[in-house]
Structure formats: structure tokens, C-alpha cells
Amino acid sequence: MESDLSDEEYEDGTVRVVKKRKVEKRAQKYKFQWEADFPWLKKDETNDFNAKCTACGVVIVIGTGGVGQIKQHENTNTHKKRMEIKKTSGLLSKFLTTPSTSNTACLNNNTENVSAAELALTYHAIKHNLSYNSMDCLVKLNKIIYVDSSTATSIRLGRTKMEALVTEVLGPYSLQGVVDDLKNEDQYFSLQTDASNKKNIKLFPLVVQYFSAKNGLQTKLLDFYENINESADGMFSSIKESLANLDLTFENVSGFSADNTNANFGARHSLFTNIREEVPDVLKGNCHAHIIHNCVKRAMDFLSYDIENVILKIYSHFAHSAVRREDLKKFVEAADG
């Protein structure tokens, strides 16, 4: 192991031991010259130690990793896919029907009908979790079935265009509707978040839950960002930044929910205590699923029989009997209410 001491020898032969001066590591700030090598990169206006990918729409933390963090993001499959889409597709406006394609008097109405139909089909695919490939086939089928419809035959909706409509039109429109609801002075909402690992990438969803007089209880996703700092201060800073980007504050936050780790709900210093400094009356929403899981896990240690053997016997009891399976379905339906 390398020593942090060094020797200095003088002319008279004496030697003095000198302690080496430690070099402090400095956080890496954003450099604009990086944009020459990474055209998709731009500076995060809210933080000098962050960069943004214009293709993926994610924030890259460069304070500790510097340009290496940018190269790591460049090699991810998601980024490569986004860049490939940008190469093979033009602007969204190029997909829309232009006036030069028709000389009829009702051109404008037909164009609006086609655009509305394309958006409706895209929304239908997302709502029912259909693949882009299946919708690509459906559009071609509709042109054959509804051959006498000018709207159906004019639709140009491949999977690339459909993805663009989701990320550039429907997504921002949906998010703006939620933000408009939360900006009302008398609209209180709770925050929910939890860490999710994808290989060596740490991702955090930011979810809000609130009650709307028009639509009832609403649970909406506000943001989904990468954050390598899973400490209480790091998570709080990221949440505060996400809210600020949407022109929101902690003023109307009424509750906070997460799993029961010390970083989230520690009594002395945690994400919850940081939020409580902003909103003293914020309510704590612990994860009951974790509590029940730990309860059952500890209870199994006191059972006098093998729980794995019980589960296998339950499976074999229902696996070979259609009547028993139907009784089990009825029981589950009744339990679910």
C-alpha cells in the first residue's frame, strides 16, 4: 500500500519525514466543448454538475464521473435505439399530410380527420398496452377493410411515427394536464418514490396522488430520472429539482410515501425529515407491503412444519382437478371483492 509519507534529506545527512499533502477531488462541471463530440448533449440549466441527453430526455450526473458518465450513457441500449430512430425519421411535421397532396375543397377538414384518427389509434394502443408492431399491421389492414374511407386510406402511422406521437404529443399533453391540476392553490397531493436498479443504473420514479372533484382519486407519474446518489440529501435534491422543472413546489405536499429504509424514514436525518423541513405538517406513508412481508417472514421461522412442502401440496391439490380450480377462482374473486 502506498504510504502518505515522504523523506527529505539535507546536506548534513539528516532526514526529515514529511507528510504528503492530500489532493482534494473536485466535482466535474459541465464543459460546452463536449457538445462537439456528443451532439445530443446539452447543459442542465438548473445544475452545473449535470448534463442532459436531448435524445432520451434524461439527466446525466457528471459531478463524480465526468465525461466517463456521458460515454456510459452513450453505450446504453436505450440511447442507441433513440439515436437510430432520429436518424431514420425526420420531424413529426413530415409525417402529416401536406396541402400539396390534395386539391379538393375539403382538404383542411380531411387533414384534421387524419391527424385525429392517428392520435386516437396511438392512444388506443397505449391504453391497452398494444405493441407498435401490431398497430403497424392494423393500419395496413384498415386500408383494405375501409377502402371507401378517405380518412382510413390517408393514415400514415408506422411504429416510428407512433412512438414520436407518444413521446412528443400525447406524453407532454398528459403531463401538462396533471401539472395544471397540481398548480391550483387548494390542490394538495402526496409524493411517492422508490429506487429501481437496471444493471448499474439507479432509476427513480416520482409519482403524485391527489383527489380531483371531476375524476376522483388520481395517481400520476410526474418524472422518471436517474440518480446515483441514494442518500437522503441526494434523493431530496433530485425530487426538488424535478418539481422545479415543472414549476411546482413543496407548498401543497400533504404526504410522502416510500419503503421503510433509514434513508427514507430515519428519525434523525432522512428524506422524510428533509421534506418535513419544507412542509412541517407532511404525513408519513410507510409501505405496508414491506411490513406484512417482514411479519410473514419472521412468523415462518416459528412454524413446526416445512412451508415449502405445504405450498407444493396446495398446488397438487388444485393442479389436477378442474372442479377444484373453479372453486379456487370463485374464492379469489370473492376475496378481491
Residue 201 bridge partners (DSSP): 198
Number of neighbouring beta carbons within 10 Å of residue 268:
7
* Same domain assignment for residues 281 and 315: no
pLDDT for 143:
87
pLDDT for 18:
54
Where among 51, 69, 88 does a domain terminate? 88
Please give the Cα distance from 158 to 136 (Å, whole number). Answer: 5
Q: Are strands 41-43 and 201-212 parallel, antiparallel or unpaired?
A: unpaired
Residue 100 has pLDDT above 60, yes or no: no
Query: Per 3-state DSSP, what percentage of the chain is helix, strand, and coil (rounded to 5)?
Result: 50, 20, 35
The parent domain of residue 210 ranges over: 193-290
pLDDT digit string, tens, across residues 191-203:
999 888 887 888 8
Where among 143, 175, 207 does a domain terminate? 175
Query: Domain holding 286: CATH number?
Result: 3.30.420
Q: Answer yes or no: is 25 within a domain.
A: no
Q: Answer yes or no: is 180 within a domain.
A: no
* Same domain assignment for residues 155 and 124: yes
* Same domain assignment for residues 260 and 228: yes
Q: Answer yes or no: is 200 within a domain.
A: yes
Residue of 161, 166, 139 lying closest to 95 (CA atoms): 161
Helix (H, G, I), strand (E, B) or coil at 188: coil
Residue 286, phi-psi category: left (phi > 0), alpha (psi -120 to 50), beta (remainder): beta
pLDDT band at 9 (very low <50, low <70, confident <90, very high): low
pLDDT digit string, tens, across residues 203-258:
899 999 999 888 899 999 999 988 888 888 999 999 999 999 999 989 889 999 98
* Same domain assignment for residues 209 and 280: yes
* Same domain assignment for residues 70 and 106: no
Helix (H, G, I), strand (E, B) or coil at 141: helix
* Same domain assignment for residues 141 and 210: no
Residue 190 has pLDDT above 60, yes or no: yes
* Same domain assignment for residues 277 and 331: no
DSSP 92: G
The angle at the Cα of 168, spanning 194 to 122, to the nearest 5 degrees, equals 90
Please give the Cα distance from 223 to 191 (Å, whole number). Answer: 11
pLDDT digit string, tens, across residues 35-89:
888 888 888 888 888 888 988 888 888 888 888 888 888 899 888 888 887 776 5
Radius of gyration of the chain (CA): 28
**pTM: predicted TM-score of the whole model, two decimal places:** 0.55
pLDDT for 304:
82
Q: What percent of the chain has pLDDT over 70?
A: 85
pLDDT band at 4 (very low <50, low <70, confident <90, very high): low
Sign of CA dihedral 132, 134, 140, 141: negative
* Same domain assignment for residues 126 and 168: yes
pLDDT for 92:
52
DSSP 43: E
Q: Answer yes or no: is 5 within a domain.
A: no
DSSP 282: P
Q: Answer yes or no: is 9 within a domain.
A: no
Burial class (CB in 10 A: 0-12, 13-18, 19+), 187: middle
* Same domain assignment for residues 208 and 284: yes
* Same domain assignment for residues 242 and 207: yes
Strand residue runs (E) in 110-169: none
Where among 175, 202, 218 does a domain terminate? 175
Count, in order, helices (H) and strands (E) of the chain. Answer: 14, 11
* Same domain assignment for residues 309 and 223: no
Q: Answer yes or no: is 315 within a domain.
A: yes
Sheet holding 59-61, edge to edge: 41-43, 50-53, 59-61
With beta carbons less than 8 A apart as the criterion, state whether 203 and 224 touch. yes
Please give the Cα distance from 199 to 218 (Å, whole number). Answer: 31
Q: Answer yes or no: is 21 within a domain.
A: no
* Same domain assignment for residues 112 and 165: yes
Please give the Cα distance from 59 to 225 (Å, whole number). Answer: 7
Q: Answer yes or no: is 250 within a domain.
A: yes
Residue 167 has pLDDT above 60, yes or no: yes
The angle at the Cα of 125, spanning 119 to 129, to the nearest 5 degrees, equals 150
Please give the Cα distance from 274 to 73 (Å, whole number). Answer: 30
Please give the Cα distance from 155 to 223 (Å, whole number). Answer: 32
Residue 123 has pLDDT above 50, yes or no: yes
pLDDT for 192:
92
pLDDT for 101:
46
pLDDT digit string, tens, across residues 282-337:
998 888 888 888 888 888 888 888 888 888 998 999 988 899 999 989 988 888 76
User: What is the number of domains present in the chain?
Assistant: 4
Per the structure block, which three cell numbers stand in for 175? Answer: 403531463
DSSP 101: G
Which residue carries 419503503 as its cell?
259
pLDDT for 11:
54
Residue 102 has pLDDT above 50, yes or no: no
Burial class (CB in 10 A: 0-12, 13-18, 19+), 175: middle
Burial class (CB in 10 A: 0-12, 13-18, 19+), 93: exposed
